Amino acid sequence: MTSSAYVAGRGQAGARSARRLERRRLLFWLLPPVAWFTVFMLIPYGMLLYTSLGHVDDMRFIPGLSIDNFIRVFTVDPYLGVIFKSARIGVMTAILSAIVAYPLAFYIAFHVRSARAKFLLYLLVIVPWWASYLVKAYAWKTILGSGGILNATLQGIGLTDGPVRLFLYNEFSVVLTLTYIFTPFAVLSIYAQLERIPTSLIEAARNLGADGWTIFRRIILPISVPGIVAGAIITFSLAFGDFVAPVLVGGPDSVMISNVVINLLGVAFDWPMAAAIGVVIIALGLLLISASGWLEEKTQTRF
Protein backbone atom coordinates (compact mmCIF):
# COMPACT_ATOMS: atom_id res chain seq x y z
CA MET A 1 0.00 0.00 0.00
CA THR A 2 1.86 3.03 -1.15
CA SER A 3 -0.32 5.95 -0.19
CA SER A 4 -1.66 4.86 3.18
CA ALA A 5 1.52 6.03 4.97
CA TYR A 6 1.12 9.73 4.40
CA VAL A 7 -2.37 10.06 5.85
CA ALA A 8 -1.78 7.80 8.83
CA GLY A 9 -1.38 10.88 11.01
CA ARG A 10 -4.99 11.84 10.39
CA GLY A 11 -6.23 8.91 12.43
CA GLN A 12 -8.09 5.77 11.63
CA ALA A 13 -10.82 7.32 9.54
CA GLY A 14 -8.21 8.89 7.29
CA ALA A 15 -6.36 5.60 6.95
CA ARG A 16 -9.56 3.82 6.03
CA SER A 17 -10.53 6.33 3.36
CA ALA A 18 -6.98 6.19 2.00
CA ARG A 19 -7.25 2.43 1.76
CA ARG A 20 -10.54 2.78 -0.09
CA LEU A 21 -8.98 5.26 -2.49
CA GLU A 22 -6.06 2.91 -2.96
CA ARG A 23 -8.41 0.05 -3.76
CA ARG A 24 -10.21 2.19 -6.33
CA ARG A 25 -6.87 3.00 -7.97
CA LEU A 26 -5.99 -0.70 -8.02
CA LEU A 27 -9.30 -1.70 -9.61
CA PHE A 28 -8.91 1.03 -12.21
CA TRP A 29 -5.79 -0.74 -13.52
CA LEU A 30 -6.58 -4.33 -12.69
CA LEU A 31 -10.16 -4.76 -13.89
CA PRO A 32 -9.66 -4.37 -17.67
CA PRO A 33 -6.87 -6.99 -17.98
CA VAL A 34 -8.64 -9.35 -15.57
CA ALA A 35 -11.83 -9.10 -17.63
CA TRP A 36 -9.85 -9.74 -20.81
CA PHE A 37 -8.06 -12.81 -19.50
CA THR A 38 -11.28 -14.19 -18.02
CA VAL A 39 -13.12 -14.02 -21.33
CA PHE A 40 -10.30 -15.03 -23.67
CA MET A 41 -8.36 -17.47 -21.49
CA LEU A 42 -10.11 -18.78 -18.40
CA ILE A 43 -13.46 -19.48 -20.04
CA PRO A 44 -11.93 -21.10 -23.17
CA TYR A 45 -9.60 -23.21 -20.98
CA GLY A 46 -12.54 -24.21 -18.80
CA MET A 47 -14.43 -25.28 -21.90
CA LEU A 48 -11.38 -27.20 -23.08
CA LEU A 49 -11.39 -29.12 -19.80
CA TYR A 50 -15.12 -29.81 -20.20
CA THR A 51 -14.59 -31.07 -23.76
CA SER A 52 -11.73 -33.32 -22.70
CA LEU A 53 -14.03 -35.18 -20.30
CA GLY A 54 -16.47 -36.19 -23.03
CA HIS A 55 -16.11 -38.36 -26.09
CA VAL A 56 -17.04 -38.47 -29.76
CA ASP A 57 -19.60 -40.87 -31.12
CA ASP A 58 -20.35 -40.96 -34.85
CA MET A 59 -18.68 -37.54 -35.25
CA ARG A 60 -20.94 -36.01 -32.60
CA PHE A 61 -19.70 -34.73 -29.27
CA ILE A 62 -21.16 -36.52 -26.26
CA PRO A 63 -20.51 -34.70 -22.97
CA GLY A 64 -19.41 -36.76 -20.05
CA LEU A 65 -17.27 -36.91 -16.97
CA SER A 66 -14.75 -39.56 -17.88
CA ILE A 67 -10.99 -39.40 -17.63
CA ASP A 68 -10.55 -42.00 -20.40
CA ASN A 69 -8.93 -39.43 -22.71
CA PHE A 70 -6.34 -38.59 -20.09
CA ILE A 71 -5.55 -42.24 -19.54
CA ARG A 72 -5.13 -42.55 -23.30
CA VAL A 73 -2.68 -39.62 -23.38
CA PHE A 74 -0.40 -41.47 -20.97
CA THR A 75 -0.84 -45.05 -22.16
CA VAL A 76 -1.74 -45.20 -25.85
CA ASP A 77 0.83 -44.69 -28.57
CA PRO A 78 1.84 -42.25 -29.97
CA TYR A 79 0.75 -39.51 -27.53
CA LEU A 80 3.21 -39.78 -24.64
CA GLY A 81 6.07 -40.72 -26.97
CA VAL A 82 5.44 -37.66 -29.14
CA ILE A 83 5.26 -35.39 -26.08
CA PHE A 84 8.65 -36.72 -24.95
CA LYS A 85 10.11 -36.32 -28.40
CA SER A 86 8.84 -32.73 -28.68
CA ALA A 87 10.36 -32.04 -25.26
CA ARG A 88 13.68 -33.53 -26.39
CA ILE A 89 13.72 -31.33 -29.49
CA GLY A 90 12.77 -28.36 -27.27
CA VAL A 91 15.63 -28.99 -24.85
CA MET A 92 18.20 -29.38 -27.63
CA THR A 93 16.95 -26.18 -29.27
CA ALA A 94 17.09 -24.28 -25.97
CA ILE A 95 20.68 -25.38 -25.25
CA LEU A 96 21.92 -24.70 -28.78
CA SER A 97 20.21 -21.28 -28.90
CA ALA A 98 21.82 -20.26 -25.61
CA ILE A 99 25.27 -21.30 -26.86
CA VAL A 100 24.83 -19.49 -30.17
CA ALA A 101 23.26 -16.40 -28.59
CA TYR A 102 25.74 -15.83 -25.78
CA PRO A 103 28.71 -14.40 -27.74
CA LEU A 104 26.51 -11.87 -29.52
CA ALA A 105 24.77 -10.79 -26.30
CA PHE A 106 28.18 -10.56 -24.61
CA TYR A 107 29.58 -8.44 -27.40
CA ILE A 108 26.66 -5.99 -27.33
CA ALA A 109 26.66 -5.72 -23.53
CA PHE A 110 30.40 -5.30 -22.94
CA HIS A 111 32.26 -4.40 -26.11
CA VAL A 112 29.97 -1.92 -27.83
CA ARG A 113 30.42 1.49 -26.24
CA SER A 114 28.04 3.94 -27.87
CA ALA A 115 24.34 3.69 -27.07
CA ARG A 116 23.58 4.22 -30.74
CA ALA A 117 25.64 1.22 -31.88
CA LYS A 118 24.04 -0.88 -29.14
CA PHE A 119 20.57 0.02 -30.35
CA LEU A 120 21.56 -0.66 -33.95
CA LEU A 121 22.80 -4.15 -33.06
CA TYR A 122 19.64 -4.73 -31.01
CA LEU A 123 17.62 -3.96 -34.14
CA LEU A 124 19.86 -6.21 -36.24
CA VAL A 125 18.88 -9.02 -33.90
CA ILE A 126 15.17 -8.23 -34.27
CA VAL A 127 15.09 -7.75 -38.05
CA PRO A 128 15.48 -11.46 -38.97
CA TRP A 129 12.14 -12.01 -37.21
CA TRP A 130 10.41 -9.99 -39.87
CA ALA A 131 11.51 -12.29 -42.63
CA SER A 132 8.77 -14.84 -42.76
CA TYR A 133 9.35 -17.79 -40.44
CA LEU A 134 8.16 -20.14 -43.18
CA VAL A 135 10.49 -18.75 -45.77
CA LYS A 136 13.42 -18.92 -43.38
CA ALA A 137 12.65 -22.57 -42.65
CA TYR A 138 12.42 -23.10 -46.38
CA ALA A 139 15.75 -21.34 -46.89
CA TRP A 140 17.36 -24.01 -44.71
CA LYS A 141 15.96 -26.60 -47.05
CA THR A 142 17.75 -24.77 -49.86
CA ILE A 143 20.97 -24.75 -47.88
CA LEU A 144 20.90 -28.31 -46.54
CA GLY A 145 19.17 -30.24 -49.34
CA SER A 146 20.90 -32.71 -51.65
CA GLY A 147 21.01 -30.07 -54.42
CA GLY A 148 21.62 -27.40 -51.83
CA ILE A 149 24.36 -24.90 -51.23
CA LEU A 150 26.14 -26.88 -48.52
CA ASN A 151 26.37 -29.99 -50.67
CA ALA A 152 27.44 -28.01 -53.74
CA THR A 153 30.22 -26.43 -51.69
CA LEU A 154 31.34 -29.74 -50.21
CA GLN A 155 31.48 -31.31 -53.64
CA GLY A 156 33.11 -28.23 -55.10
CA ILE A 157 36.04 -28.39 -52.72
CA GLY A 158 36.23 -32.14 -53.16
CA LEU A 159 35.31 -33.22 -49.64
CA THR A 160 32.53 -35.52 -50.81
CA ASP A 161 31.79 -37.25 -54.08
CA GLY A 162 28.03 -37.31 -54.14
CA PRO A 163 25.43 -35.26 -52.25
CA VAL A 164 25.25 -35.95 -48.52
CA ARG A 165 21.66 -36.68 -47.54
CA LEU A 166 22.36 -36.60 -43.82
CA PHE A 167 21.72 -32.86 -43.48
CA LEU A 168 18.01 -32.79 -44.25
CA TYR A 169 14.79 -34.57 -43.28
CA ASN A 170 15.82 -35.71 -39.82
CA GLU A 171 15.83 -34.47 -36.25
CA PHE A 172 19.11 -32.63 -36.81
CA SER A 173 17.61 -30.39 -39.49
CA VAL A 174 14.53 -29.74 -37.33
CA VAL A 175 16.68 -28.70 -34.33
CA LEU A 176 18.98 -26.58 -36.51
CA THR A 177 16.07 -24.76 -38.13
CA LEU A 178 14.33 -24.15 -34.80
CA THR A 179 17.58 -22.97 -33.21
CA TYR A 180 18.08 -20.57 -36.08
CA ILE A 181 14.57 -19.17 -35.81
CA PHE A 182 14.46 -18.75 -32.01
CA THR A 183 18.05 -17.61 -31.31
CA PRO A 184 17.02 -13.90 -31.36
CA PHE A 185 14.82 -14.52 -28.29
CA ALA A 186 17.81 -15.99 -26.44
CA VAL A 187 20.04 -13.08 -27.48
CA LEU A 188 17.57 -10.49 -26.20
CA SER A 189 17.01 -12.15 -22.83
CA ILE A 190 20.69 -12.85 -22.16
CA TYR A 191 21.59 -9.32 -23.26
CA ALA A 192 19.00 -7.79 -20.90
CA GLN A 193 20.63 -9.62 -18.00
CA LEU A 194 24.23 -8.78 -18.99
CA GLU A 195 23.37 -5.11 -19.43
CA ARG A 196 22.43 -4.92 -15.75
CA ILE A 197 25.95 -5.82 -14.61
CA PRO A 198 27.60 -2.65 -13.26
CA THR A 199 30.91 -1.67 -14.81
CA SER A 200 32.33 -1.11 -11.31
CA LEU A 201 32.07 -4.83 -10.62
CA ILE A 202 34.33 -5.64 -13.57
CA GLU A 203 36.73 -2.82 -12.67
CA ALA A 204 36.96 -4.04 -9.08
CA ALA A 205 37.75 -7.56 -10.25
CA ARG A 206 40.40 -6.25 -12.62
CA ASN A 207 41.98 -4.09 -9.92
CA LEU A 208 42.21 -7.17 -7.75
CA GLY A 209 44.23 -8.83 -10.48
CA ALA A 210 41.67 -11.05 -12.21
CA ASP A 211 42.28 -11.77 -15.88
CA GLY A 212 39.53 -11.74 -18.51
CA TRP A 213 38.80 -15.45 -18.31
CA THR A 214 38.53 -15.39 -14.50
CA ILE A 215 36.17 -12.39 -14.60
CA PHE A 216 33.99 -14.24 -17.08
CA ARG A 217 33.97 -17.55 -15.25
CA ARG A 218 33.65 -16.29 -11.67
CA ILE A 219 31.49 -13.18 -12.10
CA ILE A 220 29.79 -12.78 -15.46
CA LEU A 221 28.68 -16.37 -16.10
CA PRO A 222 27.04 -16.87 -12.66
CA ILE A 223 25.23 -13.53 -12.97
CA SER A 224 23.97 -14.36 -16.46
CA VAL A 225 22.19 -17.55 -15.36
CA PRO A 226 18.70 -15.94 -14.96
CA GLY A 227 18.94 -14.47 -18.47
CA ILE A 228 20.02 -17.81 -19.90
CA VAL A 229 17.17 -19.56 -18.05
CA ALA A 230 14.57 -17.01 -19.18
CA GLY A 231 15.72 -17.32 -22.80
CA ALA A 232 15.87 -21.11 -22.58
CA ILE A 233 12.29 -21.30 -21.30
CA ILE A 234 11.03 -19.24 -24.22
CA THR A 235 13.04 -21.13 -26.86
CA PHE A 236 12.08 -24.48 -25.32
CA SER A 237 8.39 -23.59 -25.35
CA LEU A 238 8.42 -22.28 -28.90
CA ALA A 239 10.32 -25.32 -30.19
CA PHE A 240 8.16 -27.74 -28.20
CA GLY A 241 4.95 -26.45 -29.78
CA ASP A 242 6.25 -25.99 -33.30
CA PHE A 243 4.45 -27.69 -36.15
CA VAL A 244 6.04 -26.06 -39.22
CA ALA A 245 9.64 -27.28 -39.06
CA PRO A 246 8.67 -30.97 -38.82
CA VAL A 247 6.57 -30.60 -41.98
CA LEU A 248 9.11 -28.58 -43.99
CA VAL A 249 12.50 -29.98 -42.98
CA GLY A 250 11.68 -32.99 -40.79
CA GLY A 251 11.79 -36.62 -41.78
CA PRO A 252 8.82 -38.93 -42.28
CA ASP A 253 8.66 -39.78 -38.57
CA SER A 254 9.34 -36.32 -37.19
CA VAL A 255 5.82 -35.54 -36.06
CA MET A 256 5.58 -33.24 -33.04
CA ILE A 257 2.78 -32.76 -30.53
CA SER A 258 1.19 -29.81 -32.35
CA ASN A 259 1.00 -31.87 -35.55
CA VAL A 260 -0.80 -34.59 -33.59
CA VAL A 261 -3.33 -32.09 -32.24
CA ILE A 262 -3.95 -30.69 -35.72
CA ASN A 263 -4.50 -34.19 -37.09
CA LEU A 264 -6.93 -35.01 -34.29
CA LEU A 265 -8.98 -31.92 -35.16
CA GLY A 266 -8.76 -31.96 -38.92
CA VAL A 267 -8.58 -35.63 -39.83
CA ALA A 268 -9.96 -37.66 -36.93
CA PHE A 269 -12.49 -35.06 -35.68
CA ASP A 270 -11.62 -36.21 -32.18
CA TRP A 271 -12.07 -32.94 -30.29
CA PRO A 272 -12.11 -34.49 -26.81
CA MET A 273 -8.76 -36.20 -27.36
CA ALA A 274 -7.21 -32.98 -28.70
CA ALA A 275 -8.66 -31.13 -25.71
CA ALA A 276 -7.18 -33.69 -23.30
CA ILE A 277 -3.71 -33.20 -24.81
CA GLY A 278 -4.28 -29.45 -24.53
CA VAL A 279 -5.18 -29.71 -20.84
CA VAL A 280 -2.09 -31.83 -20.14
CA ILE A 281 0.13 -29.30 -21.92
CA ILE A 282 -1.50 -26.37 -20.08
CA ALA A 283 -0.73 -28.14 -16.79
CA LEU A 284 2.86 -28.70 -17.91
CA GLY A 285 3.07 -25.02 -18.91
CA LEU A 286 1.91 -23.87 -15.47
CA LEU A 287 4.52 -26.14 -13.90
CA LEU A 288 7.19 -24.68 -16.17
CA ILE A 289 6.25 -21.11 -15.21
CA SER A 290 6.34 -21.91 -11.51
CA ALA A 291 9.70 -23.65 -11.91
CA SER A 292 11.11 -20.72 -13.87
CA GLY A 293 9.91 -18.19 -11.28
CA TRP A 294 11.52 -20.24 -8.55
CA LEU A 295 14.76 -20.64 -10.55
CA GLU A 296 14.94 -16.93 -11.27
CA GLU A 297 14.45 -16.06 -7.63
CA LYS A 298 17.20 -18.53 -6.68
CA THR A 299 19.75 -17.36 -9.22
CA GLN A 300 19.04 -13.62 -9.55
CA THR A 301 21.69 -11.24 -8.22
CA ARG A 302 20.75 -7.90 -6.67
CA PHE A 303 23.14 -5.03 -7.19
Partner 1 sequence: MRAFGNPRLVFTMAMSVLAFLYAPILVMMIFSFNDSTYTGLPFNGFTLHWYRELFTDQQMLFSIWNSIYVAVGVVIISATFGVPAAIALDRFEFPGKGVFRRIVMLPIVLPGIITGVALLGFYLTIHFHLSLHTIMLGQGTGLMCVTITEVFARLQQLGRSQTEAAVNLGANEWEVFRHVTLPGIRSALFGAMLIVFSVSFDEIAVTFLLTGRENTLPMTLWSLLRREVTPEVNAVASLVVVMSIILIVCGMYASRRQETSAGES
The nearer residue to partner 1, 13 or 123, going by C-beta atoms, is 123
**Sign of the four-CA dihedral 94, 100, 101, 102:** positive
For the stretch 241-270, what's the b/e string if a residue is b when 16 or more beta carbons lie within 10 angstroms of its beta carbon?
A: ebebbbbbbbeeebbbbbbbbeebeeeeeb
* Residue 207 found at the interface with partner 1 (CB under 8 A): no
User: How many residues line the site for partner 1 (CB under 8 A)?
Assistant: 99
Q: Name the residue nearer to partner 1 (CB basis): 66 or 132.
A: 132
Distance between CA 161 and CA 122 in Å, rounded?
Answer: 42
Interaction residues for partner 1, span 214-253 (CB under 8 A):
215-216, 233-234, 237, 240-244, 247-248
- The β-bridge relationship of strands 55-57 and 60-62 is antiparallel
Residue 190 within binding range of partner 1, rule CB under 8 A:
no
Q: What is the spatial distance between Cα 53 and Cα 118, in angstroms, rounded to a whole number?
A: 52
Cα distances from 113 to residues 21, 110, 117, 121, 303, in angstroms, run: 46, 8, 7, 12, 21
83 near partner 1, rule: CB under 8 A: no
Nearest to 174 by CA among 256, 249, 96: 249
Nearer residue to partner 1 within complex by CB, 13 or 302: 302
Q: Which among 303, 292, 172, 285 has a CA at the least distance from the CA of 229? A: 292
Does 169 bind partner 1 (CB under 8 A)? Our answer is no
Kindly tell me which residue out of 45, 68, 163, 251 binds partner 1, with binding defined by CB under 8 A.
Answer: 45
Round to whole Å and give the CA distance between 179 and 184: 9
**Is residue 202 at the binding interface for partner 1, with CB under 8 A as the rule?**
yes
CB of residue 13 vs partner 1: minimum separation in angstroms? 19
Judged by CB under 8 A, does residue 183 bind partner 1? yes
Least separation in angstroms between CB 75 and partner 1: 21
User: For residues 67 and 131, which CB has a smaller minimum distance to partner 1 in the complex?
Assistant: 131
Q: Is 51 in the site for partner 1 (CB under 8 A)?
A: yes
Residues between 276 and 295 that touch partner 1 (CB under 8 A): 278, 281-282, 285-286, 288-290, 293
